[in-house]
């Protein structure tokens, strides 16, 4: 399988945590499938509401049990503002999950650009 560029997006209509991307899990096939590594190239957040909202971004790191690792905790996004959250790539491994949660529904949109490497 070749490297694959992906664009994942969510309209955060509620204030519950949502999974925006999960790294595919290697499966037992013949021939065996190699594990997947994902490079998160950017995370864009747009607030299209009339008031500020916050976003929490975390990784469920499968290799740690899994463990929840917060990348941003209640990061404020001003009304009518778009923010690029990361300045350097983030590496995710087999079965890791990238999750997002807004403080209010119908305010934030999230776009994540991913390079999957097999």
Mean pLDDT of 42-68: 95
pLDDT at 28: 66
pLDDT at 1: 55
Three-class SS of the chain: CCCEEEEEEEEECCCCCEEEEECCCCCCCCCCCCCCEEEEEEEEEEECCCCCEEEEEEEEEHHHCCEEEEEEEEEEECCCCEEECCCCCEEECCCCEEEEEECCCCCEEEEEEEEEEC
**Structural domain boundaries of the chain?**
4-117
Q: Topology of 4-117 in CATH?
A: Jelly Rolls (2.60.120)
- pTM summary value: 0.91
Mean pLDDT of 23-44: 83
pLDDT at 32: 65
For β-strands 67-77 and 53-61, DSSP reports them as antiparallel
Could you tell me which residues come within 8 angstroms of residue 8 by beta carbon, excluding any fewer than 6 positions away?
20, 21, 111, 112, 114
Q: pLDDT > 70: what percent of the chain?
A: 93
pLDDT at 30: 66
pLDDT, tens digit (0-9, with 9 covering 90-100), for 91-113? 999 999 999 999 999 999 999 99
> Burial, 113: exposed, middle or buried (Cβ in 10 Å; 0-12, 13-18, 19+)?
middle
């Amino acid at each position: 399988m070749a490297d694959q560029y992906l664009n994942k997006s969510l309209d955060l209509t509620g204030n519950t945590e949502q999974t925006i991307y999960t790294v595919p899990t290697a499966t037992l096939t013949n021939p065996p499938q190699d594990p997947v590594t994902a490079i998160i190239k950017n995370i864009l957040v747009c607030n299209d509401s009339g008031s500020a909202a916050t976003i929490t971004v975390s990784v469920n790191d499968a290799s740690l049990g899994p463990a929840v690792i917060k990348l941003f905790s209640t990061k404020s996004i001003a009304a009518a503002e778009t923010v690029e959250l990361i300045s350097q790539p983030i590496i995710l491994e087999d079965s890791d999950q990238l999750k997002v949660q807004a403080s209010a529904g119908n305010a934030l949109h999230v776009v994540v650009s991913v390079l999957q490497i097999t």
